Amino acid sequence: MGLRSRDGGTDNPRSGARLSEWEGEARNVHVEVPNHESSLDVRRVPNQGDPSMTLEILRNFVSHFHPAFVHFPIGLISAGAAMEGWSTITRRGVSSTGRIMLLFGFLGAGAAVATGLLMFHPGDFSGTTLAVARIHRLLGLGAGALALAAALTSGVQVTAPLAGKRLWVYRLTLVGAAFLVGMAGHYGGWIVHGWGKIWAG
């Protein structure tokens, strides 16, 4: 006869041995719990005091002025090149008004290039639009470089005489800057409105 336990049950020695065996097997069972921290791609969201978040907000804020800044070099450098071309045809010498427009256009080009580089994200584009955006960036950098060369050749004193090779370097870089800034603006319009839609009827 088995012994009575405190709760009134029968204390069977075989049952106790079997229970001990089950407890031993339970200890050997290994349950793998998935590590969600390593398996999931969880991106840390910066808090309001994080400097990286502040810089990101500042960068996004400044870069969105790019569409406004691009109009200054397009208008001023193109107008300066047109006035210099008219002065060349009429043999009136270097146009001081054109040189002034160039200097202000160069400042606008610098602002447009800086904000454009901040605004350019390859992940935001794909396919043809990405290719157009890259061409737009190269044209903008080229226009800024030629505008800088023309401004350095012209100098700050817009009434100072230009002659010889310096005069032709100024005129060629000015015309080249006007051409590239116009092409950059054209490709920028394709980015905004879509490839081929500008010429659509």
Q: pLDDT, tens digit, for every residue of 39-48?
A: 333 334 445 5
Q: Which amino acid is at 15?
A: S
pLDDT at position 42, please?
Answer: 37
Q: Give the chain's domains with CATH numbers.
A: 52-193 (1.20.120)
- Look up residue 155 and give its two tokens: 């100098």
Q: What is the pLDDT of residue 53?
A: 72
Distance of CA 57 to the CA centre of its chain: 13
The type of residue at 165 is: K
What is the number of residues in the chain? 201
pLDDT by 10s per residue, the chain, length 201: 444 444 444 455 555 556 566 566 655 555 554 444 433 333 344 455 566 677 777 777 887 888 889 999 999 999 999 999 999 999 888 899 999 999 999 999 999 999 888 888 777 777 887 888 889 999 999 999 999 999 999 988 888 888 889 999 999 999 999 999 999 998 888 887 776 555 554
Which residues face 4 on adjacent strands? 10
CA dihedral 77, 82, 83, 84 (to 10 degrees): 90
Report field, pTM of the whole predicted structure over 0.75: no
Give CA separation, 1 vs 11, 13, 59, 175, in Å: 9, 11, 86, 114
- Using DSSP bridges, classify how beta strands 3-4 and 10-11 pair: parallel, antiparallel or unpaired: antiparallel
- Is the distance from CB of 150 to CB of 177 less than 8 angstroms? yes
The C-alpha R_g of the chain, in whole angstroms, comes to 36
- The closest of 173, 156, 176, 72 to 114, measured between CA atoms, is 72
